[in-house]
Structure 1
Amino acid sequence: MSKLSSIKTLLAASTMYTGLTMIVLAEDPASPDLQSQPKVDGLPADLVPWRDPNNPNVIILDDDSKAFLTRRDRSEDLERTPGPINMQRYAEQWSKWAFPTYLGAPVALTPEDLKAGEVDVAIVGLPSDFNPSGGQGWAANQMRIIRTIDTANKGVDPHTHVNYMKELNIVDYGNAAQNPFQLGMSLGEHARVLTEILDSGAIAIAIGGDHGTEAAGHMAMVNHFGPKNYATVHFDAHQDVYDTSLGAFTHGGRARRWAWENGWIKGKDLHSVGMRSPYGDPKLVDWQREVGEQYHYMPEFERNGFEETWKKVLEEVKGKRLHISFDVDAIDPAHVPGVSNPDPGGFTALEAIRMVRELAIQNDVAMIEFDEYSPLYDDTHYNTAIVIDRMMRAFLAGVALRKKGITDPNYMDPVVLDHGVK
């Protein structure tokens, strides 16, 4: 008997009397022959197993690559009738004791819930953290807990007097998963969840992470409506039309350019508003002009005034089915400190709220995303979250007015414009 076998026998015998668990060490794997392997990026292939040595553009995924995106098995759940579920115990939903859902709305878990509930608007979280600044992945859940004195479920818009909580069936559709290591897989899952909302006939409001969310928005729009059947309005301090994909096909800095390159959207249906950040190459503006994008940099607002320039934007998008991608850094950081890439000289919070409301009144908006909010950078009162909440509510007011047949973007209720005292 070898020395090793004797030790194993003694250990096994001792466990009969002491109750100890015997540990048998696995044999070490054989050493790889690194020198004879093909080189990938100057390294032996075994050192970079995610690269195909025969095709340097192929990334190989491990067997458990979909672990983050696997849907939960619901077969053991209690049977229930499909439809939204109200998670609240009390009628008054103050944020300190309410179950945290968007606007205190009921929860829908499946596409069947959306259809059975005849949902008008589904709000969904799309966490993602691929911006180098970080923190955007926390935005989706942070937006469910707004620290103001308002009760979550009260919804009379102060500009139009419409009660969107009563006019619309609104649900919280939970969060889509993120694969934190694979941007493309995350975008695919986000587009899948957005498509579920669109296919149900509902409007999607997405609380995004980084601005890569816009790519998922385009994927869902073209998947549901088909190519060149929608327009996008892109609010941003940055151009986001880079021609470099960094090997990822797309990212937060080139989503709408990627959509155009794929033939999903017409150049004249690209609309961008609010750009003002320094950029590295004038050719980026050349690209916008060459494809026919209708853009409005902040210098135009500065020179011609907000009223005239915004009126021009409304005219350009009139009659179009819209996908709105709102990078919160389009707003001046004095109003929204909690953004990934702040840039001074942006819109006021009031202007942002107004723009979102007026687009929702005038146009058939299928989807809106709010991106690049990072709670890690917000102030102690979470004012950025409050501004996004008010934009979301303004959008819902616009949708509710449109449902009632009002399509004039300048509509305001007379009672909020004149006190009536003589």
Structure 2
Amino acid sequence: MLSFGRNLKVSRAAADFSLRTRPALALCSDRRVLRTSPQRKCSGKRYNVPLSAEFVARVSGISTMAKLPYQETADGLDAAFIGVPIDTGTSNRPGARFGPRHIRAESALLRSYNSGTRAAPYESLMVADIGDVNVNMYDLKDTCKRIRDAYRKIMATGCIPLTMGGDHTIAYPILQAVAERHGPVGLVHVDAHADTSDVVLGEKIGHGTPFRRCVEEGLLDCKRVVQIGLRGTGYSADSYEWSRVQGFRVVQVEECWFKSLAPLMAEVRAQMGSGPVYLSFDIDALDPGFAPGTGTPEIAGLTPIQGVEIIRGCRGLNLVGCDLVEVSPPYDTTGNTALTGANLLFEMLCVLPKMKYF
């Protein structure tokens, strides 16, 4: 009976702890700390630390990015994962509306430290999953307004958004909000496509037009824009002429074949300087042999290794926002595309300003 009472108290305590949602809460993967306290202080602050698979089964619990706590707003956060589940801007295969949900599910495989760079994001920044933008699946222009309004609120808190797409249309309203706070930003754009079309099927807003709209509205510092991995057939002999005329650095995929991209990223860091930078990564930048779950695949793309090199090469930049877009789960029943997206988002988290490395 005594044992039963003790177990009941422990169960109630565990349940009480699991229901708390204050952003100051943290769970630690260190067994010694876990035995003594459900909270951990890092450099005088308490951070959210994902539940460790050493103690809690990955398949259990409500799905959040990296099994982080969920909170409704970005208040009190240094960085936040947020989903924008739309595919109404796509020109080919739909399905990216399910990207955030599947990225979250596959992110259960992530752990707390980056073994390659020794980054410790959850000992550096207060991070949480703040859910999805409430988009309008019937009206793309209204969806863009909703995204812009949501990101204005996020940016007002000083939080850095890490976005799970959704199709690439979302970069336009996000950058509207980012530029309102930071002014024209540099852009590291990783993609198979330049996304600088003017009008497609009579429409100016879609996943092939966001960066044309951004230039027109003065959201980008065009001398600090690089597009990496561009390839595929085009509507003209030089599909990237418009980008070059604006002052963008264009790195076609042929320049990336069979080599490390670390030297390229050293040049990119010099180009970006100390000003604010936004990182936008379309999963179709990767070869479809690695990431088939996307709407507009192009052969002969980047490898996941090169994708990681690009993101790690952003270390030291003044990153003010990042996105990972165009994951379309219906075209990859293995889940590997969403898993790759989850890992790339974790890599983005690990290069944000104020990151600690061990």
Same fold at TM > 0.5: yes
Partner of 2:342: 389
One of 138, 142, 167 as aligned partner of 1:181: 138
Partner of 1:163: 120
Three-state SS of the structure 1 residue aligned to 2:161 is strand
Three-state SS of the structure 2 residue aligned to 1:339 is coil
What does residue range 120-135 of structure 1 map to in structure 2 within 5 Å? 120-130=78-88, 131=90, 132-135=92-95
Three-state SS of the structure 2 residue aligned to 1:324 is strand
Partner of 2:199: 244
1:247 to partner: Cα distance: 4.3
| 1:119-147 deviations in Å (ceiling 9; x for gaps) | 11110000101213100000111111117
Question: Which whole-Å CA distance do the structure 2 matches of 1:177 and 1:247 have between them?
Answer: 26
1:167 to partner: Cα distance: 2.0
Q: Is the 8 A contact 1:323 1:368 kept in 2?
A: yes
- The 1:303–1:192 alpha-carbon spacing in structure 2 relative to 1, beyond 3 Å, is same
Three-state SS of the structure 2 residue aligned to 1:146 is helix
1:224 to partner: Cα distance: 2.1
Partner of 1:218: 175
Three-state SS of the structure 1 residue aligned to 2:351 is helix
Question: Which whole-Å CA distance do the structure 2 matches of 1:98 and 1:87 have between them?
Answer: 16
Partner of 1:140: 100
Partner of 1:201: 158
- The 1:323–1:212 alpha-carbon spacing in structure 2 relative to 1, beyond 3 Å, is same
What is the aligned-residue identity percentage? Answer: 23
Partner of 1:288: 243
User: What amino acid does structure 2 have at the position aligned with 1:313?
Assistant: V
Larger radius of gyration: 1
1:369 to partner: Cα distance: 0.8
What does residue range 107-122 of structure 1 map to in structure 2 within 5 Å? 107-110=70-73, 114-115=74-75, 118-122=76-80
1:83 to partner: Cα distance: 4.4
Question: Which whole-Å CA distance do the structure 2 matches of 1:87 and 1:93 have between them?
Answer: 14
Partner of 1:300: 255
Question: Which whole-Å CA distance do the structure 1 matches of 2:284 and 2:244 have between them?
Answer: 23
Question: Which whole-Å CA distance do the structure 2 matches of 1:241 and 1:310 have between them?
Answer: 23
Greater Cα shift, 362-371 or 190-199: 190-199
One of 43, 61, 65 as aligned partner of 1:98: 61
Q: Is the 8 A contact 1:107 1:173 kept in 2?
A: yes
Three-state SS of the structure 2 residue aligned to 1:177 is coil
- The 1:234–1:163 alpha-carbon spacing in structure 2 relative to 1, beyond 3 Å, is same
One of 343, 365, 368 as aligned partner of 2:322: 368
Q: Unpaired runs of 5+ in structure 1?
A: 1-80, 407-412, 414-422
Question: Which whole-Å CA distance do the structure 2 matches of 1:293 and 1:182 have between them?
Answer: 31
User: What's the Cα RMSD here?
Assistant: 2.7
Question: Which whole-Å CA distance do the structure 2 matches of 1:166 and 1:307 have between them?
Answer: 26
Question: Which whole-Å CA distance do the structure 2 matches of 1:290 and 1:320 have between them?
Answer: 22
- The 1:266–1:86 alpha-carbon spacing in structure 2 relative to 1, beyond 3 Å, is same
Q: Is the 8 A contact 1:109 1:173 kept in 2?
A: yes
Q: Is the 8 A contact 2:277 2:318 kept in 1?
A: yes
- The 1:86–1:278 alpha-carbon spacing in structure 2 relative to 1, beyond 3 Å, is farther
Q: Is the 8 A contact 2:83 2:164 kept in 1?
A: yes
Three-state SS of the structure 2 residue aligned to 1:272 is strand
1:344 to partner: Cα distance: 1.5
User: What amino acid does structure 2 have at the position aligned with 1:143?
Assistant: I
Q: Does 1:257 align with 2:215?
A: no
1:234 to partner: Cα distance: 1.2
Greater Cα shift, 217-226 or 175-184: 217-226
User: What amino acid does structure 2 have at the position aligned with 1:97?
Assistant: S
Question: Which whole-Å CA distance do the structure 1 matches of 2:107 and 2:133 have between them?
Answer: 24
- The 1:135–1:86 alpha-carbon spacing in structure 2 relative to 1, beyond 3 Å, is farther
Question: Which whole-Å CA distance do the structure 2 matches of 1:271 and 1:133 have between them?
Answer: 26
1:305 to partner: Cα distance: 6.1
- The 1:245–1:86 alpha-carbon spacing in structure 2 relative to 1, beyond 3 Å, is farther
Question: Which whole-Å CA distance do the structure 2 matches of 1:334 and 1:192 have between them?
Answer: 37
1:189 to partner: Cα distance: 0.9
One of 167, 191, 206 as aligned partner of 2:148: 191
| 1:241-278 deviations in Å (ceiling 9; x for gaps) | 11215444322111111111122323213321110111
- The 1:86–1:184 alpha-carbon spacing in structure 2 relative to 1, beyond 3 Å, is farther
Question: Which whole-Å CA distance do the structure 1 matches of 2:279 and 2:56 have between them?
Answer: 29
- The 1:314–1:345 alpha-carbon spacing in structure 2 relative to 1, beyond 3 Å, is farther
Higher relative contact order (CA 8 A, sep 6+): 2
Q: Is the 8 A contact 1:183 1:248 kept in 2?
A: no
User: What amino acid does structure 2 have at the position aligned with 1:318?
Assistant: G
1:319 to partner: Cα distance: 2.0
- The 1:147–1:165 alpha-carbon spacing in structure 2 relative to 1, beyond 3 Å, is closer
- The 1:404–1:365 alpha-carbon spacing in structure 2 relative to 1, beyond 3 Å, is closer
| 1:378-421 deviations in Å (ceiling 9; x for gaps) | 132x111111111111122222xx41577xxxxxx6xxxxxxxx
Q: Is the 8 A contact 2:256 2:302 kept in 1?
A: no
What does residue range 352-367 of structure 1 map to in structure 2 within 5 Å? 352-359=307-314, 361-367=315-321
